[in-house]
Amino acid sequence: MGKKLISMTVNGQTHEVAVEPRQLLIHTLREELGLTGSHIGCETSHCGACTVDFNGESVKSCTLLAVQADGADILTVEGLANDGVLHPVQEGFTEKHGLQCGFCTPGMMIRAYRLLQENPNPSEEEIRTGISGNLCRCTGYQNIVRAVQYAAEKLSAE
């Protein structure tokens, strides 16, 4: 199958990649760019393990073609920390025990990152609704909520 050259910015770095038109964005990120932080959990857009920040929105990269990302600005978990300093969302997840097996964590944190920009001071209910596109099988969400609250406080104090 003929490949198409696309260009996208991932974690602040521009990449030119030749992809099959049918290749899913998650596979491009994981296999072409080696960014294996985002995961595949269901292939049907339900679990959110593949969530990336895409032109300022949370997007499930298992149901987007890489060619649709031509020209896009993407943030993955690998780009959350800044010069080795953890983002408050990352800090919150470890401080509040917001992860166990870690498989949903990258998608969950990328979603939380965007949620806190959409709503810097969310209530518990707003956090629960805001992360409801991301499934976690380990934590029961309680400590994820606390992690997001931690990040919200830290970000608003910055």
Partner 1 sequence: MATPAEEIKDPVDGIGCSRKRKEDARFIQGKGNYTDDLKLPGTVFGAFVRSPIAHGRVVSINKEPALAHPGVLAVLTAEDLAPLSLHWMPTLAGDKQMVLADGKVCFQQQEVAFVIAEDRYVAADAIELVEVEYEELPVIIDGRRAMDDDAPVIRDDLEGQTEGAHGERIHANHIFRWDVGDAEATDKAFDTAPITVSEDISYQRVHPCPLETCGCVSNFDKISGELTVYLTSQAPHVVRTVVSMLSGIAESKVHVIAPDIGGGFGNKVGVYPGYVCAIVGSIVLGRPVKWIESRVENLAATAFARDYHMHGEIAADENGRIQALRVNVLADHGAFDACADPSKFPAGLFSIVTGSYDIPSAFARVDGVYSNKAPGGVAYRCSFRVTEASYLIERMMDVLAHKLGVDPAEIRSRNFIKAEQFPYTSCLGWEYDSGDYHTAMNQALEAVDYEGLRKEQAEKRANGDLMGIGVAFFTEIVGAGPTKNCDILGIGMIDSCEIRVHPTGSVIARLGTKSQGQGHETTYAQIIATELGIPSDDIQIEEGDTATAPYGLGTYGSRSTPVGGAAAARAARKVKDKARKIAAAMMEVSPADLDWDTDRFIVKGLPDQSRTIKEIAMAAYQHLPEGLEQGLEAVEYYDPPNFTYPFGAYLCVVDIDRYTGEVKIRRFYALDDCGTRINPMIIEGQVHGGLTEALAIALGQELSFDEDGNILSASFMDYFLPTAVETPHWETDFTVTPSPHHPIGAKGVGESPNVGGVSAISNAVIDAFAHKGVTHLQMPHTAYSVWKTINELGINQ
Summarize as ranges the residues that interact with partner 1 (CB under 8 A): 20, 22-23, 27, 30-31, 34-44, 46-47, 49, 76-78, 80-81, 86, 90, 93-95, 97, 99-106, 109, 127-129, 131-133, 135-145
Structural contact between residues 110 and 116, judged by C-beta atoms closer than 8 angstroms: no
- Cβ at position 113, least distance to partner 1 in Å: 12
Nearer to partner 1, 71 or 81 (CB): 81
Phi and psi (nearest 5°) for 44? -125, 15
- Cβ at position 44, least distance to partner 1 in Å: 5
Strand-pairing partners, residue 14, are 9
d(CA 26, CA 63): 8
Nearer to partner 1, 14 or 82 (CB): 82
Nearer to partner 1, 71 or 121 (CB): 121
Nearer to partner 1, 28 or 71 (CB): 28
d(CA 64, CA 9): 16
DSSP secondary structure string for all residues of 13-63: EEEEEEE-TT-BHHHIIIIIS--TTS--S-SSSSS-TTEEEETTEEEEGGG
- Cβ at position 73, least distance to partner 1 in Å: 18
